[in-house]
């Protein structure tokens, strides 16, 4: 028995679905099934009842999973504490960002952090659509500025602000000349969709999956904003972006058109759940202070409270 098996078992207990659990843990479904079977064999009792239609916990399985969650939580907190000690408690903060990060607030947040923490070295990593969550889970980054929705209980999400979304339209398409569009205008168009590894709910949100209630037409699979812009400009795909991205990412083959009825886009500071290291606490304070003083730098943004 190892911690990876415990983690897989707790994930399956949360989802009660082999496919969903395998997707979250970035493992093949067959591999997940094999690991669960191996764990059950080592334990000498079944954790899960499986039928062709459903997965459920046995009574013994529920008791085991409860203890496994406690053990994994304690181990994770210990690792975070020891990692901080190994880095001289406040020596390094590894930061991830995707796309437009926090727009015009990005520089203000990190400048304030540097001024408040002159002894901490900031290390930055650009994230893609497909590795945002795994970078945090693996410890590659300690905190990240990412767009929601992200639904993962391993992460703590401090929502900062929300803002309107726009449509990214091929410049040679008739809709590029519209002053405003609606979801119904885009619903039948092919979309640039986040590639394999991106959270399902995240990929669906940007391609209007909730509004469509079915899979969209695929114009291209992409992993970054530049790849999406290229797909829009040269492959006839469509996409939706937060308003901030329109000021930071321009392309001669793409036109940004306001969307009248799309749900607003939220930005969050993401960390591992339970991470209370001094540097992360300081970063949260810097985010709060910057939002209070400078949110007006982001056109049409609305404040969301940071925990």
Indicate if 78 and 96 belong to the same structural domain: no
Indicate if 95 and 216 belong to the same structural domain: no
Which of 58, 85, 112 is where one domain is finished? 85
Please spell the DSSP secondary structure of 243-256, one letter per residue: HHHHHH---TTEEE
Please spell the DSSP secondary structure of the chain, one letter per residue: --HHHHHHHHHHHHH--HHHHHHHTT--HHHHHHHHHHHHHHHTS-SEEE-SS-EEE-HHHHHHHHHHHHHHHHHHHHHHHHHHHHTTTTSEEEEEE-TTTTTTHHHHHHHHHHHH-TTPEEEEEE--TTTHHHHHHTTS-SEEEEESP---TTEEEEEEEEE-EEEEEETTSGGGG-S-B-HHHHTTSEEEEE-TTS-HHHHHHHTTHHHHTSPPEEEEEESSHHHHHHHHHHH--BEEEEHHHHHH---TTEEEEEBSSSPPEEEEEEEETT---HHHHHHHHHHHHHHHHHGGGSTT-EE----
Q: What is the pLDDT, as a whole number, of residue 159?
A: 96
Indicate if 81 and 23 belong to the same structural domain: yes
Q: What is the pLDDT, as a whole number, of residue 307?
A: 46
- Structural domain count of the chain: 3
Indicate if 153 and 274 belong to the same structural domain: yes
d(CA 166, CA 115): 35
Burial of 74 (0-12, 13-18, 19+ CB in 10 A): exposed
Indicate if 81 and 99 belong to the same structural domain: no
Indicate if 91 and 145 belong to the same structural domain: yes
Indicate if 126 and 208 belong to the same structural domain: no
Report if residue 285 sits inside a domain: yes
User: Using an 8 Å Cβ cutoff, are 30 and 22 in contact?
Assistant: no
**What are φ and ψ of residue 248, in 5° steps?**
-105, -20
Name which of 204, 236, 197 is nearest 220 in CA terms.
236
Report if residue 238 sits inside a domain: yes
Indicate if 221 and 177 belong to the same structural domain: yes
Counting every residue, how long is the chain?
A: 307
Report if residue 142 sits inside a domain: yes
CATH number assigned to the domain comprising residue 7: 1.10.10.10
Report if residue 302 sits inside a domain: no
Indicate if 150 and 133 belong to the same structural domain: yes
Report if residue 304 sits inside a domain: no
User: Using an 8 Å Cβ cutoff, are 145 and 132 in contact?
Assistant: no
d(CA 117, CA 131): 28
User: Using an 8 Å Cβ cutoff, are 47 and 39 in contact?
Assistant: yes
Q: What is the pLDDT, as a whole number, of residue 209?
A: 86
Report if residue 263 sits inside a domain: no
What is the average pLDDT score of the chain? 91
Range of the domain at 127: 87-161+268-297
Indicate if 100 and 124 belong to the same structural domain: yes
Report if residue 104 sits inside a domain: yes
* Average confidence (pLDDT) over 172-189: 96
pLDDT band per the 50, 70, 90 thresholds, residue 304: confident
CATH number assigned to the domain comprising residue 219: 3.40.190.10
Report if residue 151 sits inside a domain: yes
Which of 44, 59, 85 is where one domain is finished? 85
Q: What is the pLDDT, as a whole number, of residue 245?
A: 94
Please give the share of the chain, as a percent, with pLDDT higher than 90.
Answer: 78
pLDDT reading at 86 higher than 70: no
Indicate if 96 and 66 belong to the same structural domain: no
Weakest mean pLDDT among 45-59, 74-88, 115-129, 139-153: 74-88
Q: What is the pLDDT, as a whole number, of residue 81?
A: 64
pLDDT band per the 50, 70, 90 thresholds, residue 79: confident
pLDDT band per the 50, 70, 90 thresholds, residue 306: very low
pLDDT reading at 281 higher than 90: yes
Which of 36, 66, 85 is where one domain is finished? 85
Indicate if 11 and 71 belong to the same structural domain: yes
């Amino acid at each position: 028995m190892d911690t990876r098996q415990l983690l897989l078992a707790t994930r399956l207990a949360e989802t009660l679905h082999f496919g969903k659990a395998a997707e979250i843990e970035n493992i093949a479904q067959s591999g997940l099934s094999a690991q669960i079977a191996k764990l059950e064999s080592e334990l000498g009792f079944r954790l899960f009842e499986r039928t062709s239609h459903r997965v459920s916990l046995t009574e013994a399985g529920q008791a085991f999973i409860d203890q496994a969650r406690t053990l994994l939580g304690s181990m994770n907190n210990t690792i975070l504490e020891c990692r901080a000690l190994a880095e001289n408690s406040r020596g390094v903060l590894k930061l991830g960002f995707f796309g437009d990060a926090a727009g015009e607030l990005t520089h203000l947040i990190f400048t304030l952090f540097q001024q408040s923490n002159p002894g901490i070295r900031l290390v930055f990593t650009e994230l893609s659509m497909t590795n945002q969550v795994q970078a945090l889970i693996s410890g590659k980054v300690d905190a990240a500025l990412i767009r929601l929705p992200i639904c993962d209980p391993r992460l703590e999400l401090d929502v900062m602000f929300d803002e309107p979304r726009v449509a990214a339209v091929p410049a040679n398409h008739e809709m590029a000349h519209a002053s405003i569009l609606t979801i119904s205008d885009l619903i039948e168009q092919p979309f640039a969709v986040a590639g394999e590894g991106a959270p399902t709910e995240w990929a669906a949100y940007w391609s209007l999956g909730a509004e469509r209630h079915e899979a969209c037409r695929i114009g291209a699979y992409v992993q970054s904003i530049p790849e999406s812009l290229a797909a829009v400009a040269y492959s006839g795909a469509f996409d939706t972006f937060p308003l901030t991205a329109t000021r930071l990412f321009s392309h001669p083959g793409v036109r940004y058109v306001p969307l009248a009825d799309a749900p607003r886009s939220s930005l969050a500071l993401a960390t591992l759940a339970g991470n209370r290291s001094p540097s992360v606490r300081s970063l949260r304070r810097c985010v709060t202070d910057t939002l209070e003083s400078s949110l007006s730098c982001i056109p049409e943004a609305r404040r969301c409270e940071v925990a």
